[in-house]
Structure 1
């Protein structure tokens, strides 16, 4: 199918390079927002290390943030149906009193 036909049929060609495909591990997300955007900082905190860096920052419009929340909730629900309930720890194993105010 030619590029012109793809564009007209509503299809999007999304490329994924090798480095991005490897992914980045994160065990903490710090979420902040303003009137016009949501900012999610993904961090990897290692035991015994008092300092950590943001590995990735994603900025979303409020509309995209809401769609992301819905898509993530749907995927968690499907995961739990296939693999069982995801158990939450009662107390976070890492200190959450650093950096900007947010949610993990």
Structure 2
């Protein structure tokens, strides 16, 4: 492949410092419509009755499916390297009530 074609296929992704630091989340709430998926990332703190959404990501259904496959692949690789991730039988946080149908992850 010529050098000019290689340059055309590369994507230059900028990672600002404040984004590179990341945001911790220990709960994700997922909802969807016919045209998009919304993933709200939340940080729950023990003994604090209120939690805030720290980040919201909105995806097309196609991108949500690609993300699902990428996460599954990465979990498989993680478990191959570090062992099976244990999932508690019961969530570590009290049940929450929302007005719209959602799934937790």
1:85/1:5 CA distance change after superposition, 3 Å: closer
Distance 1:102 1:83 in 2: 31
Distance 1:77 1:90 in 2: 20
Gaps of 5+ in 2: none
Distance 1:83 1:53 in 2: 31
**After superposition, where does 1:77-96 map in structure 2 within 5 Å?**
77-96=76-95
TM-score by length of 1: 0.90
Distance 2:6 2:81 in 1: 38
Shift of 1:97: 2.0
1:5/1:72 CA distance change after superposition, 3 Å: closer
Instruction: Give CA deviations for 1:33-64 in whole Å, capped at 9, x if unaligned.
Output: 00000000000000000001100000000000
**After superposition, where does 1:65-104 map in structure 2 within 5 Å?**
65-99=64-98, 100-104=100-104
1:82/1:52 CA distance change after superposition, 3 Å: same
Gaps of 5+ in 1: none
1:95/1:101 CA distance change after superposition, 3 Å: farther
Note the aligned Cα RMSD (angstroms): 1.9
Distance 1:72 1:91 in 2: 22
Distance 2:94 2:30 in 1: 16
Aligned length in residues: 101
